[in-house]
Amino acid sequence: MTFTATKTLADKVRADFPILHQEVNGKPLVYLDNAATSQKPLLVLNALRNYYEQYNANVHRGAHTLSAKATDAYEAARDKIAKFINAASRQEIIYTRNASEAINLVAYSWGMNNLHPGDEIILSVMEHHSNIVPWQFVAQKTGAVLKFVGLTPEETFDLEQFKQLISEKTKLVSIVHVSNTLGCINPVKEIADITHRYGAKFLVDACQSVPHTPVDVQEIGCDWLVASGHKMCAPTGIGFLYGKLELLEAMPPFFGGGEMIAEVYLDHSTYAELPHKFEAGTPAIGEAIALGAAIDYLTNIGMDKIHAYEAELTAYLFQQLAKIPQIRIYGPKPDANGEGRAALAAFTVADIHANDLSTLLDQEGVAIRSGHHCTQPLHRYLGLPATARVSFSFYNTREEIDVFIKALKETIDFFTGIFG
């Protein structure tokens, strides 16, 4: 490993994140809950503030200077998203509030109009609730059937079972790129190839991949991809849907109202061209502009560098966790360089509840996640009430891992002392 050579990445960027420089319960904050939401750099905070201070106006609707400036910045952010994921056209990028709304858009606009009784939708047991519940709604209303891919013994996506499940009845496959609980990186390109051989469509939930590694929608070959801005250093309330142009053109609008129209008459309406057909009402303008700033920030660092640095953090974390015999980590193991899984670890510790672990770690200033992580079906599949989860971003350091490990050991010793 060459940790020393890449450690300067965190050193370089930490000053950009004001929230990291505080104490929690009298201890320096160690924020290790990045899979839930990322922190925001000054560039993003300033972009949001600058919009409201300097050119707050509605987009697309005004001829005055402020409206023109807001529109330019809002649409420039769309261009940045398209380039960031290598979309073929800016028209393939639809602003949404988050990934959940993006999946619902596809479910209601495409699913309700293309699925019929007996058609099959394939998901996996590791999906986030946002990639299960909308398809349950659609299945209930259309008569489509949900099928679920299980796990391999290594707790990864069971590709062989997927090959057995998919058939001519399959009309949609919707799979997470990176599991927010198992940390496994699913073979989305291969899944896309198999899906398309059967004439079905493929949606990728990329919430846990887009912020951490290069993602190329044309290389993957997916029909749709969704992501949330708040996990990639942008504000909450903004996300995006990528869709192949011909699919989006064929899909009817999801919401009705202003902005998504061409002409409105008393008895009918015509709709705007892409991407505006799917963006009804006044959008989250400042948040979209700030998402563009977040993409500038990530691009300036380099997604390859972010991935490599986080892989080294992952390798170090697993080395340290391996020294604690009471811990059981879920999902695949990384290789010696931290590759082969995401920069997160969901785990259990003997008979100690995950919430108790999180509560005591918080007393030491260490912020981790505990619970089901919006993957209740996966936790039931694994026979678990909850897991604790630690997750990294590029501003985390090896020293923070040391603080976490020390606090974790002390917490385990505390409960062992109480319960024997």
pLDDT tens readout for residues 241-291: 999 999 999 999 999 888 888 888 899 988 889 999 999 999 999 999 999
**For residues 362 and 327, what is the distance between their CA atoms, to the nearest angstrom?**
19
Residue bearing the bigger pLDDT, 119 or 1: 119
Cβ burial 380-401 (10 Å sphere, 16+ → b, else e): ebbebebbbbbbbbbbbbeebb
Q: How confident is the model at residue 2 (pLDDT cuts 50, 70, 90)?
A: very low
For residue 113, the model assigns a pLDDT of: 97
Is residue 210 within 8 A of residue 227, CB to CB? The reply is yes
Dihedral of the CA atoms 45, 48, 51, 53 (nearest 10)? -60
pTM over 0.85: yes
Residue located via tokens 């061409």: 262
Fold of 3-31+302-419: Aspartate Aminotransferase, domain 1 (3.90.1150)
Residue count of the chain, please give it: 420
pLDDT at 259 (0 to 100): 84
Out of 3.30.110.40, 1.10.260.40, 3.30.300.280, 3.40.640.10, the CATH code matching 45-299 is 3.40.640.10
Question: Which residues are 173's β-sheet partners?
Answer: 122, 202
pLDDT at 420 > cutoff 60? no
How would you class 24 by CB atoms within 10 Å of its CB: exposed for 0-12, middle for 13-18, buried for 19 or more?
middle
Q: Is the pLDDT confidence value at 44 over 50?
A: yes
Catalytic residues: 374
Mean pLDDT across the stretch 223-248? Answer: 98
Sign of the CA dihedral running 113, 118, 122, 127: positive
What are the structural domain ranges in the chain?
3-31+302-419, 45-299
Checking if the pLDDT of 199 tops 80, the result is yes
- Vertex 305, ends 302 and 306: CA angle to 5°? 85
SS3 160: helix
Side chain identity at residue 129, one-letter code: H
Q: Between the CA atoms of 255, 257, 263 and 268, what dihedral angle is there, to the nearest 10 degrees?
A: 70
